[in-house]
Amino acid sequence: MKLKQKVFKRSIRLIVVSIIGLAIGGILFFISNRSNIELFHLPTTTTAYHPATSTIETYLDKGEFLNTYNETLKYSEEHPNNSTAYEYLGITLFHIGKYTESTRNFELALQDETLATSTQAEIYYYIGRNYSHLKEYEKALSYSQKAIQFNPNYSPPYDAIGMFMIKQKNYQEAIPFFEKELSLIPNSQNNPLSSYPYYYLAKAYFNTNNYPKARQMIEMAEKLAQGLTKPKPSLFLQDIETLKSEIDKKSR
């Protein structure tokens, strides 16, 4: 327990000096790169609800990551060596671009043998995302696969693997993962968040010369993307228009 506490305190000392500047920069980075192939829409946290963490959840939902970090520190002081504190700190550090520190805290959270499988799946997914940002793609893939093993009904890891396949230009292999993701998204044909997997399905079909299917997917992505908010992902909307234009040219 003392070793865990030392690791946690050392992690906090490393980031506390730069957290304000990094938080602002991280938020801007996150907003500006939602449509990048490395970044997809973030999942809703599946962390078990605790009354003491309701404020943390509120700040997370609002994207106020500096406030999330401060509340997480307060919670960790009140609940030392607590896996929930480690998990929230891992999520917050991910959002502000501190991927190595994020993984370190997630690993501490995973030492709790009582964690629900759904929570473990989410943590493995985030660790995979961390490694993806660090360009350690094989590790990213491995952790995404672990997330699916722990919770086959958790959609984000399927997206992560599909994105990995697209990055490797394995377009045909990517298709089943995005289709599986859509099957797990509630009301997927009317859910604005489905615009992302529909877009990447269009991209995959386009690159396998299935232009009718690509057109069908891009039209769904275009329709659903109009409902995206917080803030409007202008770069993603531009990507949709660009791909739609390319599909139109090939369909003539």
- Residue at 20: amino acid letter: I
Specify the CATH number of the domain 169-252.
1.25.40
Q: How confident is the model at residue 52 (pLDDT cuts 50, 70, 90)?
A: low
| Burial (Cβ within 10 Å: 0-12, 13-18, ≥19) of residue 128 | buried
Matching CATH topology for 1-147 and 169-252? yes
Please write the tens of the pLDDT for every residue from 73-103: 888 888 888 999 999 999 999 999 999 999 9
Q: How confident is the model at residue 60 (pLDDT cuts 50, 70, 90)?
A: confident
Give the pLDDT score at 62.
84
User: Which pair of structure tokens corresponds to residue 86?
Assistant: 């480690």
CB half-sphere exposure, 192, CA atoms < 13 A? 11
> Percent of the chain, pLDDT > 70?
79
- Residue at 234: amino acid letter: S
Specify the CATH number of the domain 1-147.
1.25.40.10
In 3-state terms, the chain is what percent helix, strand and coil (to 5)?
Answer: 75, 0, 25
| Domain-wise residue ranges, the chain | 1-147, 169-252
Q: How confident is the model at residue 26 (pLDDT cuts 50, 70, 90)?
A: very low
